[in-house]
Structure 1
C-alpha cells in the first residue's frame, strides 16, 4: 500500500487569490510610495510647510490607520465577509491619489493623507483575514510570505520610479503624482476581478459583538501571548527613518540616502517568501526567534561599527529580520485565532503594533538626541532580547504553538 499523499507545496500550489492579493498590495504600494517618497520635500519646498507640520501630518495619518484597523476587522467578522471592506479600503485610497496633484493648499494635502490612511485602516485587517481564509492550512506561512514579498517589491519600486520620473520630468512633482494615480486604479480593478471570497463554512458561528469582552476571551491565550510578544518586539523595531539618519551621520551623500530603504526592502522582499515557506515545515516560533536574533545582530552592528560598511551590513540584517518576522507574525495570528474572529484578531494585533511602533520611534528619537545613535541601537537590541526571552517562555508554556500542522483547522490555542 502506498502512504498518504503529501500536500502540494511551492509557489504553484499557492491559490490564485493569494497571488491577486499580493499584486493588489504591490500596485497600491507603488502608487503610495511614489507620493510619500516626495511628499515631505514637496510640502516644505513647494507649499511652505514646516518640518513640524510634516511630522504632525504623518503622526496623525498613522495613528488614524492603526485605530481604524480594529473596527474594520470587527466589522468584517460581524458581516462574515471580508472582500467588500477590502474594496472600500483600497478604493478610498485610490480616490485620494488625484487630490495630491490637484491640491492648492496644505489643508487639501492633509485631508487626502487622512482619508488615504483611513482607507489603509479599513482594508488591513479584512485583507489579512481574507489571506488566512483563502490559504490552505499547510501553506499559511508561504501565503503570508508571498503577499508580504509582493507588497515589499512595491515599497522599493515606488520610490525608485519616483526618482526616475523626477529626473525625466525635470522635478515636476505634480506630474509624478498624476502618474501615481494609474497603479492605484489598477489595484482596485485587480481586487474586484481577481479575488473571489471563499464561501463561509457551514455551521461557522455568527459573531454579533466582535469587540465584546466575551469575544475577546474567545481569542484564547495563545493569540494573546503571540500579540504580547509581537508588541514587545515592535517596541524594539523603531522607524526605519533612523537607518537613514545613521547612514547620513556616517557620511553617505544626502542624494544617496534613499538607497538605504531600497536595499532594506530588496532584502526584505527576497527573504519573506522563503521564511514563510520554511515556517510551514518547521516550528514557526523558532523561525520567529531567528528573526529576532537577526534584529539584535543588526542593532549591535549599527551601534558598534561606525562606518558606511557597518551601516550596509546593519541594513541588510534589518531587511532579513523583517522578512523572517512580519509575514510569520501574521501567519501565527491566523493560526491562533478562531476563523470567525480573524478580522478582529488582526485588527487588535495591528493596532497594538501601531501604538508600539509610535512609542518606540518617539523613544528612539529622544535617545538619539540625548545619548547618540549608539545608545538608540543598543536600546533596540536590549528590548529585542527581552522579546526573545518572552518567546522562549512561550515556547515552554505552549510547546505545540507554531508546530508544523498545528492549528490547521483555524483557531488553535483557544
Structure 2
C-alpha cells in the first residue's frame, strides 16, 4: 500500500519541476531590467529616424555595434567569473551599470549622447550576461536545466512585453513625449538591482572543481570540446538570420503604423516569446534539445517568409508572432546546450565566447540587413534571413 501511495507523489514532482528560488529571482531581475530597457528601445529607433533624422543603415550599424559591444564584454566577464569562482559580484556590477545609464536617455541632447548611453548600457549587459547564465546553470540540477533557462527567458520576455506596453500608454498620456517615457524607465532598472542583491544566493563551488587561472588560454578553450565548438558555429549561422528586432519596427512603420502604436509590434513579439519559452525548455528536458531547436529554426524561416511575401497587416501580425515563437524555441535551448556541453569551472568562459561569436554575427547581420533594406527593399532583408535560417536548420539536423 505504501508504494502505491508514494508513486502519485513522485509523478507529480516530475510533472511540476521545482525550479530553484535563485533562478526565480534572476528571472524577476531580468524582467524588471527588460521593462526598463524595452520602454526605451521600443522607441529609440523611431526617435533616431523621425526626430533626429538618422538613416536606416545608421540604425542598423548602431544596433549591431551596440550588441557586439555587449558580446565582446561577455567573454571577459565570463572568464573572470571562472577565475574568481564567483558569479554574483559581476552580475550585480553589470546590472548596476545598466541602471546607472538609464537617466542619460531622457537627458541626452543629441545623437552622440544616445549612442554613448546605448553602448555603456550594452557594456553593462555584457558584464552580467555570461556570469548570470553560468549562475543559473550552477544552481540548477542538470535534469531541470532546460526548464530553468526557459523560465528565466520567459520572465525576461514578460518584461519585453510590459515595457513596450507601458511605452504605448505613456506616449498616449504624454502626447508622444519621448523624454517622459525614458524617465519612467529609470524606476524598474533600480528595482532590478535591489532584487538581485537581496534575493539571489550563489552556491558554494564543489570541492572537486577549482577556479581556472587562465580561462581564455588555448588549452582551456580546447577543453571546451568539439561539441561546444560545433554548436557555437551553428549558433553563429543562426544569428546571421536573426538580425535586430528594430527591423520589425521599421517594417511596421513602412506600412503606415503611427509612432504611438509602433511598440505594439514588440509587445506582440514578446508575448509569443514569453508564452513559449518555458514550455519549450521543459520539452527539451523531456524529449531532447535538438528537436526543439529545429522547431525554432523552422519558425524563423516561416516568420521571414511571412514578413517578406504575405501582404497587408495579416502578414505583419503572423510574421511577428512567428518571430516571437522562434525566440522561445531557441534562446533558452541554446543556453541549456552550452551549459550541458561545458565543464563546470569553464561555464562562464563558455557562455562568454558563445556570446562574443554570436554577437559578431549579429553585427554583420544588422549591417547587411540595413544595406539590403535601403538598397533593394525590405523583402530582400527577410528572404536572405530565411536562407540563413534554413541552412542552420539543416546543420542542426546533423548535430549529435
Bigger drift between 228-237 and 175-184 goes to: 175-184
Structure 1 pair 174/319, CA: closer, same or farther in 2 (3 Å)?
closer
Answer yes or no: is the 8 Å Cα contact 1:252–1:308 preserved in 2: no
Aligned partner of residue 235 in structure 1, secondary structure = helix
Please state how far the C-alpha of 1:45 moved relative to its aligned partner: 7.1
Partner in structure 2 of residue 150 of structure 1: 155
Answer yes or no: is the 8 Å Cα contact 1:251–1:308 preserved in 2: no
Structure 1 pair 177/126, CA: closer, same or farther in 2 (3 Å)?
same
Partner in structure 1 of residue 395 of structure 2: 390
Answer yes or no: is the 8 Å Cα contact 1:142–1:273 preserved in 2: yes
Partners of 1:292 and 1:53 in 2: CA distance: 28
Answer yes or no: is the 8 Å Cα contact 1:14–1:139 preserved in 2: yes
Please state how far the C-alpha of 1:355 moved relative to its aligned partner: 1.1
Please state how far the C-alpha of 1:181 moved relative to its aligned partner: 1.8
Answer yes or no: is the 8 Å Cα contact 2:176–2:260 preserved in 1: no
Partners of 2:277 and 2:128 in 1: CA distance: 21
Partner in structure 1 of residue 235 of structure 2: 230
Please state how far the C-alpha of 1:156 moved relative to its aligned partner: 1.9
Pairing 1:165–2:170 present: yes
1:99-128, Cα deviation, whole Å (9 max, x unpaired): 333445555444333321111110000001
Partners of 1:65 and 1:53 in 2: CA distance: 18
Structure 1 pair 250/184, CA: closer, same or farther in 2 (3 Å)?
closer
Pairing 1:141–2:152 present: no
Partners of 2:143 and 2:109 in 1: CA distance: 51
Pairing 1:113–2:118 present: yes
Pairing 1:28–2:33 present: yes
Of residues 263, 277, 292, the one that matches 1:287 is 292
1:140-191, Cα deviation, whole Å (9 max, x unpaired): 0011001001111111211221221233234444333332221111101100
Unaligned runs of 5+ in 1: 399-414
1:359-411, Cα deviation, whole Å (9 max, x unpaired): 122222333334333333222222112111111222xxx3xxxxxxxxxxxxx
Aligned Cα root-mean-square deviation (Å): 2.4
Of residues 261, 268, 287, the one that matches 1:263 is 268
Aligned partner of residue 14 in structure 1, secondary structure = coil
- The aligned length equals 394
Unaligned runs of 5+ in 2: none
State TM-score, norm by structure 2: 0.91
Please state how far the C-alpha of 1:41 moved relative to its aligned partner: 5.0
Structure 1 pair 300/42, CA: closer, same or farther in 2 (3 Å)?
closer
Bigger drift between 136-145 and 10-19 goes to: 10-19
Of residues 172, 182, 185, the one that matches 1:180 is 185
Partner in structure 2 of residue 402 of structure 1: none
Partner in structure 2 of residue 210 of structure 1: 215
Bigger drift between 211-220 and 6-15 goes to: 6-15
Partners of 1:389 and 1:164 in 2: CA distance: 43
Bigger drift between 349-358 and 73-82 goes to: 349-358
Please state how far the C-alpha of 1:73 moved relative to its aligned partner: 0.4
Answer yes or no: is the 8 Å Cα contact 1:61–1:117 preserved in 2: yes
Partner in structure 1 of residue 86 of structure 2: 81
Of residues 194, 200, 206, the one that matches 2:205 is 200
1:274-297, Cα deviation, whole Å (9 max, x unpaired): 000110101101110111111122
Of residues 302, 310, 319, the one that matches 2:315 is 310
Partner in structure 2 of residue 403 of structure 1: none
Of residues 4, 10, 13, the one that matches 1:8 is 13
Partner in structure 2 of residue 246 of structure 1: 251
Answer yes or no: is the 8 Å Cα contact 2:63–2:244 preserved in 1: no
Bigger drift between 201-210 and 299-308 goes to: 299-308
Partners of 1:125 and 1:379 in 2: CA distance: 30
Bigger RCO (CA 8 Å, 6+ sep):
2
Please state how far the C-alpha of 1:255 moved relative to its aligned partner: 4.1
Please state how far the C-alpha of 1:212 moved relative to its aligned partner: 0.7
Answer yes or no: is the 8 Å Cα contact 1:9–1:139 preserved in 2: no
Structure 1 pair 291/195, CA: closer, same or farther in 2 (3 Å)?
same
Partner in structure 1 of residue 66 of structure 2: 61
